Chain A
Amino acid sequence: EPEVTQTPSHQVTQMGQEVILRCVPISNHLYFYWYRQILGQKVEFLVSFYNNEISEKSEIFDDQFSVERPDGSNFTLKIRSTKLEDSAMYFCASSGRDGGELFFGEGSRLTVL
């Protein structure tokens, strides 16, 4: 069964450092998303991406965040200068069509010290 894969599964970084989280969406999907979940809290939308551009973003997704699809298979989330409050589980998701079912990866846990 096709799945969304994410790397790394866990990353520990120092405050102020840049972090790149990587995702390989399901191969024929066209819509890509990042969500995050702070420990013990609900899953929150960050950004959606389609046709090589951001289609929607939340207020969480400030100038420290960026997304990129550098090639035909990867979808990355970059945090330019991490803050303590960026510590969370980051989930990548993809869907095959607008409004279609989202398939989530298993997440990348980011710990900022």
Chain B
Amino acid sequence: GESVGLHLPTLSVQEGDNSIINCAYSNSASDYFIWYKQESGKGPQFIIDIRSNMDKRQGQRVTVLLNKTVKHLSLQIAATQPGDSAVYFCAETFQSGYSTLTFGKGTMLLVS
């Protein structure tokens, strides 16, 4: 079946570097994408979202890029800090119904 997946299970970066976390999705009907951060022992925390009619959205230190042509989503974190260490999930959903999210497998970001 269609699913959301991640290319890299673990990403290690140095403090101050920029981080890029990637996600591939296969359901072209998805129209809303979200990045979540999950720290150890906690629930997913919303970071940033993007709708399918956009290709880029910026937040504070984070940018999400959406490439619908290749069904690819990325999260860029500028000036990565130790507090950014967590598992990052991308998720997809459809605005035509309720907010049932399909999550990817997650990427562990380690900042040293």
Contact = CB atoms under 8 A, between A and B. Distances in A.
Interface of A: 4, 31, 33, 35, 41-45, 48, 50, 55-56, 58, 91, 93, 95, 98-107
A91 to B, nearest CB: 5
A45 B49 contact: no
List the 5 closest pairs (A to B, CB-CB), nearest first.
Answer: A104-B43, A43-B103, A99-B95, A48-B98, A42-B103
Given A42-B103, A42-B104, A45-B102, A107 B46 contact: no
Interface residues of B, number: 24
Contacts of A105: 43
* Overall SS of chain A's interface: strand
Contacts, number: 61
B60 interface: no
Contacts of A91: 43-44
B44 A42 contact: no
Contacts of A31: 98-99
Interface in B65-84: none
A95 B44 CA distance: 14
Given A42-B106, A43-B89, A99-B32, A107 B99 contact: no
Contact of B99 (A44, A102, A106): A102
Contacts of A93: 43
B97 interface: yes
A44 B91 CA distance: 10
